[in-house]
Structure 1
Amino acid sequence: MISERVTGALVIRTALPAEAGTIADLHRRARSTYYPDGLPEADLDWAEAWRGSLERPDGHVLCAVAQGRIVAIASFRTPDGASADTVRLFQFHVDPGHWHAGIGTALHAACVEEWRADGKRTAVLDVHTDNRRAQAFYARQGWIPDPQNPPAEGDHHLFLRFSVSGE
């Protein structure tokens, strides 16, 4: 488990439950860039939802901190019903004001490092079809369409897979 990783002026560490509100605000800002008609579940208490994620004993949330501010987050865990060597990346967001600074790449590398240390072989995620920027990012990191989970008719998500072990 990564407690803290320093990459230049960027610190990547485990997020704390007390940071749920800050993380929820970053999450809303990032998601608003790819939902043209407004955020779904706008009435959801995202701070409470993040607090639940941060307190899950089977989950993990990493955050990237630059100049004392959280600028990116990644939430992952073994999905229910999946094999123990699979991890699901549930949320991965970089604050839009910090795009193209290498923060996402550094955070992704920290995730992969932790997944390898935890014995994970495969990572999965889903990405919104309108989020072309994220799709391009994931492709650059080595994610591919998941052949075991093709998109269903009318679904607005693409399912991707990543070989953690590098095979």
Structure 2
Amino acid sequence: MIRTAVPAEAEDVVALHARARATYYPDGIPQDGTDWLASWRSAIERPDGHVLCVVEEGRIIGLASFRTPKDAPRDTVKLFQFHVDPDHWRSGVGTALHAACVEEWRADGKRTAVLDVHVDNRRAQGFYARQGWVPDPENPPAEGDHHLFLRFSVNGE
């Protein structure tokens, strides 16, 4: 089942986030001082954002967080976080979650979606390419940056 996350699930969301991110940081997730529990609770509670989750047998196994950034056109949405439990990779969970995101974006009148993905996260890059995401021509990678910027046409244009 895919549904909106609720604040009481923030700890479960953080745990999934950590499991997924750990797979592309070979030396462990950098400790940058971010309070992930507060960040996810804020994302879930934001009136201008949305966090979708995939729930299977009462457990969150996928999640996506998105909203329109303040500095972006109104018809653009940014996918800030997209994670699937590593035990469920290649099972269709990510594809179903992505489709649910696109459905919401279309319903909200979005035309373009953007995201950034860590350069070492080749698995995610392949997933996004299969969904139709392409390098963002307006945001080429900067020298030394650890992220690639991708763009998606919500209406397939």
TM-score, normalised via structure 2 length: 0.98
Shift of 1:43: 4.3
Q: Residue 126 of structure 2 aligns to which amino acid in structure 1?
A: A
1:93 match: 83
Q: Which residues of 2 match residues 46-125 of structure 1 at below 5 A? A: 46-125=36-115
Q: In 1, Cα distance between the equivalents of 2:142 and 2:47?
A: 32
The unaligned stretches of length 5 or more in structure 1 are 1-10
Q: How many residues get paired?
A: 157
Q: In 2, Cα distance between the equivalents of 1:110 and 1:15?
A: 13
1:140 aligns with 2:130: yes
1:163 aligns with 2:153: yes
2:27 match: 37
The unaligned stretches of length 5 or more in structure 2 are none
Q: In 2, Cα distance between the equivalents of 1:64 and 1:42?
A: 28
Q: In 1, Cα distance between the equivalents of 2:13 and 2:130?
A: 25
Q: Could you list the structure 1 runs, at least 4 aligned residues long, displaced by more than 6 angstroms after superposition.
A: none
Shift of 1:42: 5.7
- Calculate the aligned-residue CA RMSD, in Å: 0.9
Q: Residue 154 of structure 2 aligns to which amino acid in structure 1?
A: V
**Percent identity at matched positions?**
75
Q: In 2, Cα distance between the equivalents of 1:73 and 1:130?
A: 20
1:23 match: 13
Q: In 1, Cα distance between the equivalents of 2:68 and 2:124?
A: 22
C-alpha distance after superposition, 1:42-70 (max 9, x if no partner): 64321111001111110100000111111
Q: In 2, Cα distance between the equivalents of 1:132 and 1:123?
A: 20
TM-score, normalised via structure 1 length: 0.92
Q: Residue 66 of structure 1 aligns to which amino acid in structure 2?
A: E
Q: In 2, Cα distance between the equivalents of 1:27 and 1:43?
A: 16
Once the two structures are overlaid, the 10-residue window that deviates more, 42-51 or 79-88, is 42-51
Q: Residue 39 of structure 2 aligns to which amino acid in structure 1?
A: A
Once the two structures are overlaid, the 10-residue window that deviates more, 64-73 or 38-47, is 38-47
Q: Residue 105 of structure 1 aligns to which amino acid in structure 2?
A: T
Once the two structures are overlaid, the 10-residue window that deviates more, 68-77 or 39-48, is 39-48
- 2:95 is paired with a residue of what secondary structure? helix
